[in-house]
Amino acid sequence: MSKSGPQVPLTPAVFHVLLALFGQERHGYDIMQQVKSDSQGAVKMGPGTLYGSLDRMIEAGLVTKGNTRDPRRIYYKLTALGQATLRAETERLSRLAAVARRQLGTA
Amino acid sequence: MANIKPKTRSRSLALYGLLLGLYAPEFLARHRAEMLQNFEDLENASSSKAALWLFIGEDLMLTLMSRNIPKSLWGHSAPMLIVLATVLAIWRAFAFDTAPVSDPEALGFSSSRLARIAAWQQAQVEAGAFSGAVAAIARNGKVAYLRAVGFRDHAKTTPLQRDAIFWIASMTKPVTSVAAMMLVEGGKLDLAAPVHQYLPELRDMMVGVERTDPASGETKLALEPQKHPMTVEDLLRHTSGLVYEVGNTAVHKLYRESGLYDRGLARNGTLKDFVSRLARLPLAHQPGEVWEYGHGADVLGRVIEVASGQPLDQFLDSRLFRPLGMVDTGFWVPPEKLARLIDPPVGARIRPDRDVTKPTTLFSGGGGLVSTAADYLRFCQMLLNGGELDGARILSPTTVRRMTTNALPSGIRFADGSTFGLGFAIRSDVGWSTVPGSVGSFFWGGAWGTYFWVDPAEQLIAIQLIHVAPDKIGQFRGGFRNLTYGAFLIPDRGGPVSANAPTAIDQADLAAFEGIYTFPASSSRDKHEPFGGLGINIAMQDGLLKVVSPVRGAPAARAGIMANDIITHVDDEATRGMTLNKALEKMRGPVNTEVRLRIARKGQDAPIELTMVRAPIRAASAGADVDLQVAVKDGKLQIEASGALPVLDFEKGAPTAVVPLSSGEFLVDGGDHTRLAFLHDRAGKATSLVLNPGPWQITGQRIN
């Protein structure tokens, strides 16, 4: 894998933010709500955690700023690398779940 | 769920602004404006202050710990962090948290017995009684149980979540009653005052009386004036003479024919319009003389609007739901929450005014609300606390006591063993009821089966949310009550062991009980047929079929198969490259047929060839029979269940030691004190095992 390709595994926070931004630009509060709904309430992300992750994700080239007209509601969106990383991590997780499922049984 | 946002910046926001100073300056330069906006959004959405600060505080702690500390640990932020940590710890200890505790035993419940609630609801779902259920039980201010079972939809495509939204129907009445009492405490409403003092349009309502002409035998409806004007208290305790459309008298008939809910009024009318329509109908009884369920709480809703000067939805939202953190309670479900709304009962006819998926302006204080188990728990906990929750004071303890004490004059009957307060029915007699509950418990339910009660003597709250056809709700209320009280732990007083001095049994005699005993599953409806197999748990690891554990006494174990053996061939077919399911299929087959396995075992060079005969095996899945494995360990008899045996003390995979009471009787010391008695055949061999000998005993047959 080249250095610019998707780097997985991801932390749960990064994975959730990527997932929330898939196919839609969102501002911070919107991301938090989407993460909460995607995880069925299990992951509740606060502003500090969110912006800490977003900064690192921007640096890693996964996310970029979209609409920045209102400084209180800056929108974020996925880059092509962000999309590829999200897909790669989803693949990795489902392979892992499949292995776990295969390995349990009774005869 | 009106959004009433104060124009001024809140004190909380100002405090959050100060706390942001703990972050690194370059981080703040990028995100300060966003974070303040986020805080405002969060404050508006989740408005219990305790919950908000717990969430924000945790976020601050987490992020500051991971990044900012090394730089400024000895600077000004260290003391602030310590204060923050302390405040958070105190909050976490005292705030009412609707997440269930991990140890219900600490609240006086048996975990395994609480689990029977979900099993019972699951059986109802499978029988088609309702699509899904959410149940919540709290005790001593902590949540012992909060689970969802079944599905959100009748097509069974979406599993129901704990935060599912239900139309709670008449469970709205206690909420409206509490709102009215807040105004009474605030001096804006007088319980003893005539209702027409607030709603003049109701001043001249007449009372309908059926009179039979003795000559012709004809029955006519005569109208009489009110002897005593209807009071506000009459609205809260259902003695107003206002009734519902259901009933056989001429007045009920008039209600049905009146078109109270004509299309025009359905969702875009107002309470004022509704009350003026109601004013044209006669009362069914003289006010203050008879208890009859009816539109009293709807009229009370309008009284609240007049006395408070606010529409009912806004009053409830700003004075009750927000302070209590009831974030999902309101008169309709906004679009972003529609995916959480459970389907109505099969075949339910939904009056247009009850369609909670659309905005409404007709706020029914008698039955308009939608809510969740967590929200209603918060409401009930406020009542149980004497009118306060997490610092939000709603009522005084005196008022709560007054609402949950009989309010009916001695001549008025509500029901045997129960009486009525202000907005709640109250258990008044320990007998007279088919369901358990302490005297002083208060309760009510909704048309589609939602139900709650609060038992102050036990510091207990229980809520069951379901949607069923109205004629079937009774059995589900009773069932849930029985299961809830049935899950109470027996206080440990040394137990009956001391009463029956334990007997010593020697090792050889104990070994005679060793074996597997099979018990019928509690629900016989979906009993799994046993299949022919080897009694072996296997796993596929790195392409190798590995034995996880042989079941003791089953063919594989008797043939000498051990954990960690690798099965290389089944009936001469190599297992390499087989799927797990394929291997399972190959090993299963008709009972009494042979299977040949080739085994590779660590430390043995040559493969081991073993032939064994398939025996009846039960997969340990839900609804299947349950096996109890009896074994001797460290000189004691030990029992282990292969599956859930929720009625008793045996948890799957948890060996439970038993103490002997006599030569053939044993007892689980602690928990439910399950008793076991072994039965012998003439040769003295143990053939079956009876759990809790007596009228409710269950018998298991020995299978090996």
Give the CATH number for residue B405.
3.40.710.10
Give the gap in angstroms from C-alpha B449 to the nearest C-alpha of chain A.
26
A56 → chain B, closest CA residue? B27
Please say whether the beta carbons of B348 and B473 come within 8 A.
no
Residue B347: what pLDDT? 78
- A44, A49, A102 ranked by CB distance to B63: nearest: A49
* Sign of the dihedral through C-alpha B691, B693, B694, B700: positive
Please give the DSSP secondary-structure letter assigned to residue B449: S
- List phi, psi (to 5°) of B696: -110, 20
Is residue B340 domain-resident? yes
Residue of B325, B428, B430 lying closest to B378 (CA atoms) = B325
Is residue B351 domain-resident? yes
Taking only the tens place, the pLDDT of each residue in B59-106 is 887 777 766 444 544 455 666 667 777 777 776 666 778 788 888 999
Task: Read off the CATH number of the domain in which B514 is found.
Answer: 2.40.128.50
Residue B619: what pLDDT? 53
Is residue B382 domain-resident? no
Is residue B64 domain-resident? yes
Residues B568 and B597 in one domain: yes
Please say whether the beta carbons of B239 and B291 come within 8 A.
yes
- A32, A73, A105 ranked by CB distance to B580: nearest: A105
Which residues of chain B are within 8 Å of residue A72 when distances are taken between CB atoms?
Answer: 33-34, 36-37
Alpha-carbon distance values, B351 to B263, B267, B268, B269, B355 (Å): 10, 10, 14, 14, 7
Alpha-carbon distance values, B387 to B304, B514, B671 (Å): 19, 57, 35
Give the gap in angstroms from C-alpha B328 to the nearest C-alpha of chain A.
14
Buried b (16+ CB within 10 A) or exposed e, B240-258: bbbbbeebebbbbebbeee
Residues B698 and B640 in one domain: yes
User: Do B579 and A102 count as a contact with CB atoms less than 8 A apart?
Assistant: yes
The first and second tokens of residue B95, run together, are 């705030």
Contacts across the A-B interface (CB distance below 8 Å)? 93
pTM here? Answer: 0.62
Is residue B391 domain-resident? no
User: Do A106 and B27 count as a contact with CB atoms less than 8 A apart?
Assistant: no
Residue of B167, B136, B162, B168 lying closest to B149 (CA atoms) = B162
- B33, B63, B163 ranked by CB distance to A52: nearest: B63
Sequence-separated (6 or more) residues with CB below 8 Å from residue B661: B500, B502, B503, B667, B675
Is residue B446 domain-resident? yes
3.10.105.10, 3.30.565.10, 1.10.10.10, 1.10.40.30: which CATH number matches A12-102?
A: 1.10.10.10
The domain limits of chain A are 12-102
Strand partners, B225: none
Which residues of chain A are within 8 Å of residue B41 when distances are taken between CB atoms?
Answer: 29
Residue of B383, B426, B476 lying closest to B134 (CA atoms) = B476
Low-confidence ranges of chain B (pLDDT < 70): 1-9, 46-48, 66-81, 91-94, 262-266, 432, 491-503, 520-530, 618-625, 643-653, 670-672, 694-697
Which residues of chain A are within 8 Å of residue B588 when distances are taken between CB atoms?
Answer: 107
Residue of B468, B372, B446, B448 lying closest to B162 (CA atoms) = B372
B contact set with A (CB within 8 A):
23, 27, 30-31, 33-39, 41-42, 55-56, 58-60, 62-64, 66-67, 161-163, 533-534, 536-541, 579-581, 583-584, 587-588, 617, 619-620
Which residues of chain A are within 8 Å of residue B56 when distances are taken between CB atoms?
Answer: 46-47
- B35, B534, B539 ranked by CB distance to A47: nearest: B35
Residues B520 and B639 in one domain: yes
Sequence-separated (6 or more) residues with CB below 8 Å from residue B160: B131, B132, B133, B134, B148, B149, B150, B151, B152, B342
Residues B354 and B298 in one domain: yes
A54 → chain B, closest CA residue? B31
Is residue B641 domain-resident? yes
Residues B38 and B151 in one domain: no
User: Do A29 and B41 count as a contact with CB atoms less than 8 A apart?
Assistant: yes
Taking only the tens place, the pLDDT of each residue in B2-24 is 444 444 457 788 888 888 888 88
Residue B448: what pLDDT? 93
Residues B218 and B354 in one domain: yes
Which residues of chain B are within 8 Å of residue A52 when distances are taken between CB atoms?
Answer: 27, 63, 66-67
Residue B269: what pLDDT? 84
Q: What is the rounded distance in angstroms from the CA atom of residue B81 to the CA atom of residue B60?
A: 9
Is residue B380 domain-resident? no
Range of the domain at B537: 531-617
- B38, B538, B588 ranked by CB distance to A47: nearest: B38
Number of domains into which chain B is organized: 5
User: Do B533 and A107 count as a contact with CB atoms less than 8 A apart?
Assistant: yes
Report the residue count for chain B: 704
Residues B456 and B576 in one domain: no
The three state secondary structure string of B626-665 is: EEEEEEEECCEEEEEECCCCCCCCCCECCCEEEEECCCCE
User: Do A46 and B23 count as a contact with CB atoms less than 8 A apart?
Assistant: no
Residue B700: what pLDDT? 83
Sequence-separated (6 or more) residues with CB below 8 Å from residue B398: none
- A28, A104, A105 ranked by CB distance to B38: nearest: A28
Which residues of chain B are within 8 Å of residue A55 when distances are taken between CB atoms?
Answer: 27, 30
